[in-house]
Amino acid sequence: VLQKWVNREISNFDYLIQLNTMAGRTYNDLAQYPVFPWILRDYTSEELDLNNPAVFRDLSKPIGVCSVYLHFFFFLRYENFEDPLGIIDKFHYGTHYSNAAGVMHYLIRVEPFTTLHIQLQSGRFDCADRQFHSIPATWQALMDNPNDVKELIPEFFYFPEFLENQNGFNLGQLQISKEVVNDVILPRWAHSPEDFIYKHRRALESEYVSAHLHEWIDLIFGYKQRGPAAVEALNVFY
């Protein structure tokens, strides 16, 4: 599979799906759901220029340290962490880049994930401000909030329906702006959910991502998962 990918006989998308499968990740287990990378960092421009390296996320870094502020935060957390009982090893992140709640968070508008989310939240929808309501706002939260290090799921590259509230669920309204949570707010460069998926998939298959995807794979599936290489890459999880 690696050789096919290097020879460009299979796409970046196909390669990631196959890696997830070989790693034991599957659509049948929310706790081991396939994981895909955030690949862009420009969610505000009117046009998306895939020839400009500045629009892409740095794939050599875990998503938690893609902002300079959080880079220092997590570095210091690891350096200063000490469990008085000596049981817990040092870590950068107390949460994870992929978990069942995160999958339900992204897919809240489509069944069976809506029902699973409601069950998780004791019979109701979670508070509107905590729901997935905007792609630009979700990215900004990753840049500002040390408690959120979620990567993406494959649906961001092929399934426009998850961005629409086609079932008309009452997802509440945001506390400050009083805005009703309905369809997911898209980046300015996307004119519809289908347009977002089309451009996002093109970004995944771009030259920049093809040249740097292996750096992210090293973090998630490769040698930077644990040990000294993980410490150096700020990639140690609780």
What CATH number should be reported for the domain holding residue 206? 1.10.1540.10
Contacts 24+ apart (CB under 8 A), 64-68: 64/92, 64/93, 64/97, 64/142, 64/146, 64/149, 64/234, 65/92, 65/234, 66/38, 66/41, 66/142, 66/143, 67/142, 67/143, 67/144
Residue 53 lies in a domain: yes
Question: Can you give the pLDDT at residue 5?
Answer: 97
Residue 238 lies in a domain: no
Expressed as residue numbers, the domain containing 144 is 1-233
Question: Can you give the pLDDT at residue 176?
Answer: 87
Question: Can you give the pLDDT at residue 50?
Answer: 96
Residue ranges of the chain with per-residue pLDDT less than 50: none
Number of domains in the chain: 1
pLDDT tens for each residue of 149-198? 999 999 999 999 999 999 999 999 998 888 899 999 999 999 999 999 99
Residue 220 lies in a domain: yes
Residue 56 lies in a domain: yes
